[in-house]
Structures are given as C-alpha cells and as structure tokens.
Amino acid sequence: MVTWVVADITKWTPERSFDVWHDRAVFHFLVEAEQRHACRRALEAGVAAGGLVIIATFAPEGPERCSGLPVQRYDAAALAAEIGPAFALTESWREQHTTPAGNAQAFNWCVFRRVANG
C-alpha cells in the first residue's frame, strides 16, 4: 500500500512507521541546519527498523538554485553524514536529469537502510 503524505517536513511528526520512505528532490531544499535536523527526526521516527530511505538530491555539480530557491548539493558521503548514523548507506548512483526546458541537472540518488538499533 502506498501512503502519500503532504506536510511540512520541518514540522511533521509521523504517526506511524513506514517500510519505504521516498524523497525525490525535497531534502536538497533544506538549506538550514535546523531544517535538516527536523527532517532527520522525522526519518528516525517514521522509518521502521530495516526500512529503506531513498533520497534524490542535486549532486555537487548540479545547480545551485531550483525554481528560484537555493539548494544544498550532496555526494553520497555528504548525504550519509546529514542523514546520520541511524541509517546505513547501501547504494548510490548519479543521474543526469533533463528538464522540460532541455537543461541537464546532475542528481545524486542514495538508498539507506534503517539500522535496528539506530
């Protein structure tokens, strides 16, 4: 079953745990440390032990802004450090995304597994 959640990740507290958490281009908009910390709290509260977190962010060579907003860019190691020790990086890859305007944007995809005691 898929559950779509629309909320401000910096203020939301999950009411249940999920086996898979998919974030396609939200995390890179969290440019303030407190915003990222709030997201990490939600991940820790909302992902079941052994669950997966799939996150796509702009890669280091990606754009510095998106939709007029500043973004934070990551490689796999930097994203793993931000996500924290409760999640183990299991896989990462790069993707060149082509926008509707024809521009190429470098993305970094990472898959993390929630550690049982994290």
Tell me the pTM. 0.92
Q: How far apart are CA 1 and CA 40, in angstroms?
A: 24
Domain boundaries, the chain: 18-114
pLDDT digits (tens, 9 = 90+) for 14-62: 999 999 999 998 999 999 999 999 999 999 999 999 999 999 999 999 9
Q: Quick one: pLDDT at residue 118?
A: 54
- To the question of domain 18-114 being in CATH 3.40.50.150, the answer is yes
8 A C-beta contact, residue 8 and residue 38 = no
Of 31, 90, 28, 85, residue with least CA distance to 60: 28
